[in-house]
Structure 1
Amino acid sequence: MDNVFVGSTLSAMSTGLGALLVLFLQGSLTHKWRDMLLAFTAGIMMAAAMLSLIPEALNSGGLFPVAAGLFIGVVTLTSMEKAIPHMDLDHNQRNIEIDPKAMLVVAAITLHNIPEGLSVGVSYALGETGDTGNLIAFAIGLQNAPEGFLVALFLMNQNINKWKAFIIATLTGAIEIVSGLLGYYLTSYVEFLVPYGLAFAAGAMLFIIYKELIPESHGDGYERPSTYSFIIGILFMVALIELV
């Protein structure tokens, strides 16, 4: 019990660790660096989806759960994109317009953290020594850090101050603690759903990569450095997967 709580907490809070970097930004990022960061994060997410989440789902459930989970993830994100309205939030007595794309990214990251948390909890429950759980928690935590920075950066681009952006980004990962404990306690019921959850997470990530991150990173004339950054992001995540 202690292991799963500590592992889930550290994995979840790595989102906040990544978001912490925005507190040290002086002003805003240039278009070039923003596009390169978006592409780098897209590369990390692509490698995590294709080389970690989907293979794990295939190993634990086979082709049908992967296809079903991917489809549900994409349909869910598509529905969210259509349903999320353009919102005005009252902030410091000013109406600040929140881009629905940023809201979509925040919601997508939060959603795909749920099955990731479940996978951490189930991994701890299935492993007698806890080594498998530690490995999965560490791998997911490494992936969560750039996601937290990305979410915080999106919020900062919407004129939300650094501290609020940091807090909101951290909260998107905190849901992994709850879902991790749920997965641990309900393993006998949740185990067969894990491949669906992993594939759902992969589908949500792939939707965001192709629909939002790549187009956004190619919108200001920095296509070539963004492409290099995307490839570096893939290689970075591949190296982490191999090391873990």
Structure 2
Amino acid sequence: MVDWFLSLNPIWQATLAGVFTWLMTALGSSLVFLFHEVNDKLLAIMNGFAAGVMFAASYWSLLAPSIDFAEQNGYGIWSFVPALVGFLVGGLFLRIVDSVVPHLHKRTSGVEETEGVASSLSSTTLLFLAVTIHNIPEGLAIGVAFGAAGQGASAITSALGLALGIGLQNFPEGAALSMPIRAEGSTKGHAFNMGQSSALFEIISATIGAWLVTQITVILPYALAFAAGAMVFVCVEELIPNSQTNGHSEVATMAFVIGFAIMMTLDVALG
């Protein structure tokens, strides 16, 4: 099975990795059939853990390979430039998307913050859009990582570690979306479908990311850093603030440390 996967084109590898992260989101969303809600403390832990995973992945799976690839391809003392430019553009891109697409941030403290252009969409739809926006850079990161491995810019095990890490943090993310939707009055089936479908865009963006870097190799170091910048934006703008409210900051911070350590271990050990 492993040999079969490794023999696939990087685009297919990225697509299947995206399917895996979607499946983990769906499993998390399925908890809506077993529980009525996730308590504030658990949500804070989930957000902290997810932020730790994404922060570690941003460096070891994306920024470091970006710099290494630039060094190996004649950038010399300017090897940091693709990482710098890509990282800044990735964060700016997510900022623009955040300011344009209407969506809802449901903070751990219970406060709802609507962002983006004015809209008459329901709070359920706005919450769905918020999670979907933040799933896109995760899928893109997976796609770029597998594309980079296919171009010899990084080890395939590094891409596998990234997909596994994002999959781990997608499980609680699925629950964190489906249960608030259920609490809004939706049926369990509808809440589950909203939760799992938010991750479908990870499959699409993973496929696109892998295709881009395999077709246009010159953008590879920029694409790796772009994905890192977008992921860090998500962490700082959404996950960390949510983890630090409602009196659970200490346990959430430890969850961040554990998530970071797990992702770092996966990436370094597998890479």
Is the 2:83–2:221 Cα contact (8 Å) retained in structure 1? yes
2:137–2:231 Cα contact (<8 Å) kept? no
Corresponding residue pairs, total: 230
Aligned counterpart in structure 2 of residue 59 of structure 1, from 59, 68, 84: 68
**Are residue 17 (structure 1) and residue 29 (structure 2) matched?**
no
Per-residue CA distance 1:169-223 (angstroms, 9 max, x = gap)? 1332343134324543x1xxx2221111111111111111112111111111101
Q: What SS does the corresponding residue of 1:28 show, helix, strand or coil?
A: coil
**Is the contact made by 1:116 and 1:198 (CA closer than 8 Å) also made in structure 2?**
no
- Match of 2:53, as an amino acid? I
> Which of 162, 187, 190 does residue 140 from structure 1 map onto?
162
Residue 6 of structure 1 and its aligned partner are, at CA, apart by 4.3
Distance 1:178 1:114 in 2: 7
Residues 4 and 115 (structure 1), Cα distance of their counterparts in 2 relative to 1, 3 Å cut: same
2:161 aligned partner, one-letter code: A
- Of the structure 1 ranges 220-229 and 20-29, higher mean CA displacement relative to structure 2 is found in 20-29
Query: One-letter code of the match for 2:181?
Result: Q
Q: Distance in 1 between matches of 2:260 and 2:199?
A: 23
Percent pairwise identity: 23
Of residues 5-14 and 223-232 in structure 1, the stretch that sits farther from structure 2 once superposed is 5-14
Poorly superposed stretches of 4+, deviation over 6 Å? none
How far residue 107 of structure 1 moved from its aligned partner, in angstroms, is 1.5
The match for 2:207 is: 177
Aligned CA distance change for structure 1 residues 174 and 149 (closer, same or farther; 3 Å):
farther
Counterpart residue type for residue 168 of structure 2: P
- Post-superposition Cα deviations, 1:1-45, rounded to whole Å, max 9, x if no partner, equal 834354223311121232123213422211100110000000000
Q: Structure 1 residues 168, 143: closer, same or farther in 2, change over 3 A?
A: same
| Aligned ranges 1:106-185 → 2 under 5 Å | 106-126=132-152, 134-149=156-171, 151-156=173-178, 157-159=180-182, 161-184=191-214
Give the Cα separation in 1 of the matches to 2:44 and 2:96. Answer: 26
Is 1:39 equivalent to 2:48 in the alignment? yes
2 CA distance for matches of 1:203 and 1:122? 17
SS class of match (1:71) = helix
With structure 1 as the length reference, what TM-score do the two structures score? 0.82
Shift in alpha-carbon separation, 1:171–1:82, aligned structure 2, 3 A: closer
Determine if contact 2:135/2:198 at 8 Å carries over to the other structure.
no
Gaps of 5+ in 1: 90-94
Cα RMSD after superposing both structures: 2.5
- Where does residue 76 of structure 1 map in the other structure? 93
Which residues in structure 2 correspond to 1:185-196 (within 5 Å)? 186=215, 190-196=216-222
SS at match of 1:120: helix
Indicate the larger mover: 216-225 or 75-84: 75-84
> After the TM superposition, which of the residue ranges 175-184 and 160-169 deviates more from structure 2?
175-184
2:249 to 218, 223, 229: 223
* TM-score normalised over the length of structure 2: 0.75
Question: 1:239 aligned to 265, 268, 271, which one?
Answer: 265
Moved more, 216-225 or 143-152: 143-152
CA-CA distance at 1:236 after TM superposition: 0.7
